[in-house]
Amino acid sequence: MKESRGFTLLELIIVLGIISTMLLIGATVYSQSQKRSRDAKRKGDLNNIRSALELYRSNNSFYPLNLTDLTTGTVYLKSIPLDSFDPRQSYKYIPKSGCNNTTVLCNDYTLGTILENAPNPVCSVTITCPTIACNFCLNPYGEK
């Protein structure tokens, strides 16, 4: 009677193939969840900025010309948040065109960022963030 002393080459190849497939699926799922997490942080940062802008407007009757106005004088934000994944990427703030808060008060703005998982459709306003077009935008009324 013949005794079996180990696994055949075919059995080893099948097991390695199954393990490789499971690792590949796990790595893909992990990567996508990391992207979704970073995008959620970006959206949260924009909503925090938007809340600070609304507080500023309620005190001054207009929106600021730049985000640094939120961190000086009456402090609405401790600091302007930066993208945690790419700190060189700042969130883009554009007040309504033509306002100067002297003769024409700012009553609208667009906040933008670049999400890794772009929403569908992307924002309707094309703004540069800072080197490529943003794909997620907010205004005083919510998502654009």
Q: What is the pLDDT of residues 64-122, one digit of tens each?
A: 999 999 998 889 999 988 887 777 777 888 888 888 888 888 899 989 888 888 776 66
**Are the CB atoms for 66 and 93 separated by under 8 Å?**
yes
Q: Is residue 14 over pLDDT 90?
A: yes
pLDDT of residue 47: 92
- Which residues, in sequence order, are bridge partners of residue 112? 92, 137
CB atoms within 10 A of CB 138: 22
- Dihedral sign, Cα of residue 83, residue 125, residue 70, residue 48: negative
Task: For residues 109-138, give the mean pLDDT.
Answer: 76
